[in-house]
Amino acid sequence: MTQLAFYTSGRARYLLEEHCDNFEEKVMNKTLIATTGILLCAGLAACTTPRDATQLSQKTVHYVCGPQGAQQPLAVQYTFQGTEALAAKVIYNAQAVDLTRATASNADMVGNTFRGNGYTWTTDKFNFDTVGETQGNMLTQDVVQTVNGQQTTVSNIIANNCMVSGPVRTHPNNTANPPQ
């Protein structure tokens, strides 16, 4: 039986080789096409996967703040890890302030809050994909004032009613060089 199976498979191969001049080349081509197809599918799948949670990137958003007719420009460069904002660099009146996202309080449940160096920047809730469509609420500065003989910290509003104005600039994988 083994000899018959060998003879049949040998005979089939002989017939294929006899009648198909390039039998081995056709088998190689089909293997190459199948391998290429698998690689293309893997490549396309990678394009549709969500942002890597370890990937750092930046986006700069330009706002105009204040009442109509008296609006002042304000720019914020957000640093993201994956889709979540980690930090914000607020540029207002030729001054840059580095802030980190505050997530330890309830303030971050409704919107995004960034704090540091005595300043607070609040916005509506956003992520990497929606930052260019999200309005800024206000920029405040903590100052110490004496009220009834007691020193207390109050938040002075520096800018409020901040609306997105202009295109969002994306800086993928580049947190070392701020925009020019």
Cβ atoms of 74 and 92 within 8 Å: the answer is: yes
Question: What's the pLDDT score for residue 13?
Answer: 59
Q: Which residues pair with 78 in a beta bridge?
A: 59, 88
> Could you state, in order of their start, the residue ranges of all structural domains in the chain?
2-47, 56-172
- Does residue 136 sit in helix, strand or coil? strand
pTM above 0.75, yes or no: no
Could you read off the pLDDT of 73-104 as tens digits, one per residue? 999 999 999 999 999 999 999 999 999 998 87
* Digit-coded pLDDT (tens) for 96-137: 999 999 887 665 567 899 999 999 999 999 999 999 999 999
Give the C-alpha separation, 178 to 180, whole Å.
7
Nearest CA to 117 out of 80, 137, 87, 83 is that of 87
